[in-house]
Amino acid sequence: MARKLPPLNALRTFEAASRHSSFTSAAEELCVSQGAISRQVTALEDWLKVQLFTRHARGIELTPKGTSFFRVVSGAFDQVEYGSRQLEQKPDDKTLRLKVPPTFAIRWLVPKLARFHAFRPDIDVRLTTSHQAVNFNRDDVDACIHSDMQPLPEAHCQRLFGELLLTVCSPDLLKNGPPLRTPADLAQYVMVCSLHRPRDWPTWLSAAGVTAFDGNNGIKLENSALTYQAAIDGLGVVIAQRSFVEEDLRSGRLVAPFDLQVPGDGSYFLAYPVERPKSYGVAAFEAWLLREVASI
């Protein structure tokens, strides 16, 4: 069955005009006249039987339906552009492009990467960090670490480990501060939390039977890696994920003032796209990760 698509030249014109919010700028990008842009947009509106732009003396503005259609067209063009780039690139099975959350990178993965290099010295790892979920249709990555309650949709997800929350602080903070005998005594301390993990303190305090405060009224830092450094520097008490502070607890840089450890509601997954064959680099990284996780 034949596809019923709008004129492709008109779609390209509409996308450029919408992106620039200007017929003039779209004409410059596409190397045509402003009149040609206007005619293509009008032809598209006639085909769709929908007004896409409001024309006024100051220029053009997308209508609500035009805005919705632009999101669809822009996303489709992004995928075509990404696919084109992939065809232009020579496949390199020994380059592994990873995107991971910042704290996972700093506190767990990077300290162990020397072991991966020893395991597969022929693989070139290229690591970027982001809190945003990966879109394998647009992001130039082979695999990612996905941190959430659910696996990443439309991806193969291998669960690595869950979350175990506990309180940590500098031993000097306990030595020089007021007594910290029960969780309720935390009210006498600065409580540090991550802006990206607002549920952690309330989850732990609820399990500890503390209802007078939720832990999110103290100092807020961008990510958990910063809160852990703040704890080491004696700024206050931090809610931590056990996997990310193990070495600090072993070395004595941090101590856990309470024995209570509470399961969090998230997990960490290795994710890679289902529609691509698993590369040599991804397969090697997955095998190494599972070996590392088994030793936790």
Q: Give 184's contacts (C-beta < 8 A, 6+ positions apart).
A: 210, 212
Q: Which DSSP state fits 21? A: T
- 39, 62, 88 - which closes a domain: 88
Q: Which DSSP state fits 106? A: I
B/e letters for 201-233, b = 16+ CB within 10 Å, e = fewer, are bbbbbeebebeeebbbebeebebbbbbbbbbbe
Whether residues 275 and 224 share a domain: the answer is: no
Whether residues 33 and 82 share a domain: the answer is: yes
Whether residues 52 and 190 share a domain: the answer is: no
Whether residues 254 and 178 share a domain: the answer is: yes
Whether residues 84 and 116 share a domain: the answer is: no
- Which domain does 271 fall in, by range? 95-162+267-294
Q: Classify residue 1: in a domain, yes or no.
A: no
Whether residues 197 and 67 share a domain: the answer is: no
pLDDT for residue 218: 87
pLDDT for residue 170: 97
pLDDT averaged per 10 residues in sequence order, the chain, 296 residues? 86 93 92 93 94 89 92 85 64 83 96 94 94 87 92 90 96 92 95 93 96 90 95 96 95 96 94 90 94 85
Q: Classify residue 122: in a domain, yes or no.
A: yes
Residue 280 near residue 93, CB atoms below 8 Å: yes
Q: Total domain count for the chain? A: 3
Q: Classify residue 2: in a domain, yes or no.
A: no
Q: Classify residue 114: in a domain, yes or no.
A: yes
The CATH number linked to 209 is 3.40.190.10
Work out whether strand 143-148 and strand 59-62 pair parallel, antiparallel, or are unpaired: unpaired
Whether residues 168 and 32 share a domain: the answer is: no
pLDDT for residue 58: 82
- How many angstroms separate the CA atoms of 143 and 116, rounded? 15
Whether residues 151 and 184 share a domain: the answer is: no
pLDDT for residue 276: 86
pLDDT for residue 185: 96
Whether residues 53 and 124 share a domain: the answer is: no
Number of other CB atoms surrounding residue 271 within 10 Å: 24
Which residue in 64, 85, 74 sits closest to 20, CA to CA? Answer: 74
pLDDT for residue 94: 82
